[in-house]
A and B are shown apart, each in its own frame.
Chain A
Amino acid sequence: MPDAHAGAAAPSVFAVAFKDAALAALVALGLAAPMLGLVTVQTQSGIELEQHWGRVAIAVAIVFAGRLLLNLTLWRPGRKKSLGYVPPKVEARLARFAKYLAPLAILGAVVMPMLPFTERYAIDLGILVLTYVMLGWGLNIVVGLAGLLDLGYVAFYAVGAYSYALLAQYFGLSFWVCLPLAGILAAFWGVILGFPVLRLRGDYLAIVTLAFGEIIRIVLLNWYWFTGGPNGISGIPRPSFFGLDFDRGDDGFAATFGLDYSPLHRIVFLYYLILALALITNFVTIRLRRLPIGRAWEALREDEIACRSLGINTVNTKLTAFALGAMFAGFAGSFFATRQGFISPESFVFMESALILAIVVLGGMGSQFGVAVAAVVMIGGFELFREFSDYRMITFGLVMVLIMIWRPRGLVSTRSPSVFLKEKKAISGSLVQEGHG
């Protein structure tokens, strides 16, 4: 805006902003008045309404002030670049920066439990975050690389968890035997469920995977004699350090290594276990991207018809992505079971699938680093707000919306080529397709 006009235009800008904010406040009043102002309470005589107009006033005031502020700052007419805009050059530099950041992050993750000021809580949180990092990386193969929208990923997590729990319960198998078995079983289920549905496209695939996720959960919930139904399975054996249990006994981990027994040993061990599992997932995925199968996944995401014309068996290629993604979920699931010692269908609801998918999309589809950052931000942030339990889910939902509006392609939106002749150039996300399957 030229300076000469600034003086004359300023009040009108304010007037427009004010009017807009007033309208927004009016809408907010309509939304909030019945929902926040009139609360249904059950009393002895039946159900009645309680009036809470204070809350309505607060909500309306927040909307009005927020909208006015935004109108005068970020949304002011004439402001060209939106908040989420990052120039491609900066983005490319960030991507290069990420290359050095990733080893640093891994190093940080490795030394974290050894630091003197690290508390048990931090390690527990680390385990949780790393579990989601691993799940995110696993789903990234399916959604980010192969472009298949899977809304039922948690089913494979559940298959892994229940595989270990049931194999341990019925056959007394140890964690180390069950871990690969759980992965294989989950992959097997991935193939079984994937085979009939992978020819479906786009949102049909999404809804069928969602349905399968729910079916598996409902079966786990109702198959009482086998899975314990809603009570779940408890007393799942804890992992051993290659045969050494983490207990006070003479042949326990602490005694064998001449250490004083500490319950922290097991926690630290679990931390390194999930770190190792996650890094294996990452390593395998990075490796796969450079192999023909990984390129075929990405090609499939870009253009399925062209893939077929080049002799790529699209059904098998999709199935491999589905099965491998499921396998990593299976590993993560058996880890979850051994860590918790107790599992029930409660842990495998659709929300979990949505959360993992959100991590992948927020991180930037296909980007290993972005997914890890998104997992840390989402899960870590979520846990840090534990005290505000009532409001944290509300905030969580709202933050998901805001991040998507801010960066629809996720935090790291560039694609890094799997091979190069002279120079590895980051590919702008706007050129990369997101898949139709």
Chain B
Amino acid sequence: MEYFLQQLINGVTLGSIYGLIAIGYTMVYGIIGMINFAHGDVFMVGSFMALIVFLALLALGVTFMPLALLIVLILAMALTSLYGWTVERIAYRPLRGSFRLAPLISAIGMSIFLQNMVQVAQGARVKPLPPVITGGYQFGAAEGFVVNVSNVQIIIVVTTIALMVAFSLIVSKTPLGRAQRACEQDRKMAALLGIDVDRTISLTFVMGAALASVAGLMYLLYYGVIDFYIGFVAGVKAFTAAVLGGIGSLPGAMLGGLLIGLIETFWSAYFTVEYKDVAAFSILAIVLIFLPSGLLGRPEVEKV
């Protein structure tokens, strides 16, 4: 029981990180219908930005942790957003409205570029960060079992929930969100109605990158080690999460992320660590075969 609860908490934490990345995939897919293959690498860049900013703050003598983390969060989001914006501007915008596979290849090229750029710039070795946030709570000591919830986990889950709420509000309530939904439905019509489509799409990439950088920061805090290659695996799993939840749906991305996180954690805990990715991917295949539009996606009606 305690083992189960412990894994549940670990799974939810991991799932939050996947969910945040998945939102970036799902928003971009929703609005321009492409897999932003470089998004996983934007997440990786985000984690590096967080690490660099954090170290810079330490060097500057900012040692009050809550303040430091807040600044790291904001700066990492800003800097990573710039990456997201640039990637869209260089690799995707010139290809908009052309052939479906062209942006996909261009995205793969961008992913290779980012990965290797970071490898060359920052070195190929893993970057460890000593635990920044320590401590936590223990539950159930009186009942005879122990479940640990670390402060990092609490921060991750709380931040994720807060960001989810904020972004859901942006999408449902603000003019930007309305513009996004309009572009999703019909880009030409939206443009005719005076919506700046290019700007809306750019902002979507910026939002996705910002969330990915938060996920990067959390990954850094949670695992305490990053390298230039973390983007691929995390990206594939987050995309899996987005598809699982129903691509194009924000709550779906979060749900998918949670499920992938939980599947992975429980599989590692009860079966074998080696095959955790196989478990996640198999679930994806099975869900898609029986529920082709994902868990919360709108079913696609075949127009004859």
Contact = CB atoms under 8 A, between A and B. Distances in A.
Interface in B108-152: 108-123, 125, 127-130
Interface string A338-367: 000000000000110010011001100100
Nearest to B284: A211
B193 interface: no
28 contacts: A31-B79, A31-B83, A31-B86, A34-B49, A34-B52, A35-B49, A40-B52, A42-B125, A47-B129, A48-B55, A200-B289, A200-B292, A203-B35, A210-B236, A214-B277, A219-B278, A221-B274, A351-B112, A361-B104, A394-B113, A396-B112, A396-B116, A397-B114, A398-B109, A400-B108, A400-B112, A409-B98, A434-B101
**9 shortest A-B CB distances, which residue pairs?**
A400-B109, A397-B113, A397-B112, A211-B281, A408-B102, A393-B116, A222-B274, A401-B109, A404-B106
A149 B108 CA distance: 14
A215 interface: yes
Interface residues of B, number: 70
B29 A203 contact: yes
B94 A405 contact: yes
Interface string B91-110: 10011001111111110111
B102 A404 contact: yes
Given A34-B52, A42-B128, A203-B29, A397 B111 contact: yes
Interface string A18-34: 00000000010011001
A244 interface: no
A36 B121 contact: yes
A218 B109 contact: no
A225 B108 CA distance: 35
B53 interface: yes
B102 A361 contact: yes
A206 B100 CA distance: 12
Interface string A27-64: 10011001110111110001111000001000000000
Given A39-B121, A40-B122, A393-B116, A34 B108 contact: no
A379 to B, nearest CB: 15
Given A31-B86, A210-B236, A215-B281, A305 B105 contact: no
Given A390-B120, A408-B102, A27 B86 contact: yes
A241 interface: no
Contacts of B247: 203
B106 A401 contact: yes
Contact of A434 (B100, B112, B281): B100
Contacts of A362: 105
A426 interface: no
A197 interface: yes
